[in-house]
Copies of this chain bind each other. A is one copy, B any other.
Amino acid sequence: MNKERLKAVLESIAAGELSPDDGLARLEGLPYEDIGFARVDHHRHLRQGAPEVVFGEGKTPEQIVDIAGRIVERGSNVLVTRADYPTFELLRMRMPDAVYHEAARAVTVPRHEADQVGMVAVVTAGTADIPVAEEAAVTAEATGSRVERVYDVGVAGLHRLLGERERLAAANALVVVAGMEGALPSVVGGLVPGPVIAVPTSVGYGASFSGLAALLGMLTSCASNVTVVNIDNGFGAGFVASIINRKIEAAKAK
């Protein structure tokens, strides 16, 4: 509840336009509505400048459709992550313009056009890291960023990566996705001046311990411009990269 709104209410009371009880009720009016199993927060969009996101994992298709439906009704764009095809089909029945991004396992429901500005580079070490990278890319695009994909440029074949150096350096923010030893963000971090958001993936076996090796490697990176998100969290990485990218582009526009 911001200061201005609070002040406005108080002034209405002082002016006798509002009774104390009505003022109380208004101050307590919560910016979400209760639909039984989940509270939809219509104001998050305003607070974070992003479309509403429904994190699909652990929710039933019915729950997802219900939550997404409420959001769409208010005219917001929706991004559903971790959604399988049957969930998409259910969504499409209610929202015919829903789009399925298969590699990313994500659904977008665009209610109004959103420009894609600036540039976020999404980079992977290997082929198996692509689904996580696509989740990041689709998220960044859905939140208004232009994305360039640079896939399969792992550190054991350095010349592949070096060939993309100029393109990587041009990005406002980079998402670097790697499993196994997770060395790619360190190497990329040394090549570019921008912020690198590293995403460890659960790709690997044995001592990769479902992504732990990559996670620890990225956290202890010797490159100073690297931050890290959770294992397989393509959404989070794409979301943060997009925030940074749009802030820079918005500053340009001023």
Which residues of A does B touch, CB under 8 Å?
A: 1-3, 6-7, 10-11, 13-14, 16, 19-21, 23-24, 27-28, 30-32, 37-39, 41, 44, 47-50, 53, 57-59, 63, 125-128, 130, 151-160, 162-163, 166, 172, 180-183, 186-187, 189-195, 197, 200, 202-233, 235-237, 239-240, 243-244, 247-249, 251-252, 254
A48 to B226 CA separation, bound complex (whole angstroms): 12
B236 touches A39 (CB 8 A): no
The 17 sampled A-B contact pairs (Cβ below 8 Å) are: A2-B166, A28-B163, A32-B159, A37-B151, A44-B157, A48-B224, A49-B193, A53-B224, A155-B187, A181-B183, A195-B243, A206-B230, A213-B213, A213-B217, A214-B217, A247-B248, A252-B252
Q: Which residues from chain B contact A220 at a C-beta distance below 8 Å?
A: 180-181, 204, 206-208, 213-214, 230
Taking the closest CB of chain B, its distance from the CB of A101, in whole angstroms, is: 16
A227 touches B227 (CB 8 A): yes
Taking the closest CB of chain B, its distance from the CB of A21, in whole angstroms, is: 8
Taking the closest CB of chain B, its distance from the CB of A143, in whole angstroms, is: 10
Please tell me which one of the listed residues B10, B27, B156, B183 contacts residue A217 in the complex, with CB atoms under 8 A apart: B183
Please tell me which one of the listed residues B31, B207, B244 contacts residue A195 in the complex, with CB atoms under 8 A apart: B244
Q: Which residues from chain B contact A190 at a C-beta distance below 8 Å?
A: 47, 155-158
Q: Which residues from chain B contact A218 at a C-beta distance below 8 Å?
A: 181
B193 touches A243 (CB 8 A): yes
Q: Which residues from chain B contact A158 at a C-beta distance below 8 Å?
A: 158, 162, 187, 190-191
A155 touches B183 (CB 8 A): yes
Copies of the chain in the assembly:
8
Q: Which residues from chain B contact A209 at a C-beta distance below 8 Å?
A: 216
B207 touches A216 (CB 8 A): yes
Q: Which residues from chain B contact A163 at a C-beta distance below 8 Å?
A: 28, 30
A172 touches B240 (CB 8 A): no
A50 to B189 CA separation, bound complex (whole angstroms): 13
A14 touches B16 (CB 8 A): yes
A59 to B131 CA separation, bound complex (whole angstroms): 12
A155 to B194 CA separation, bound complex (whole angstroms): 17
Please tell me which one of the listed residues B27, B212, B214 contacts residue A6 in the complex, with CB atoms under 8 A apart: B27
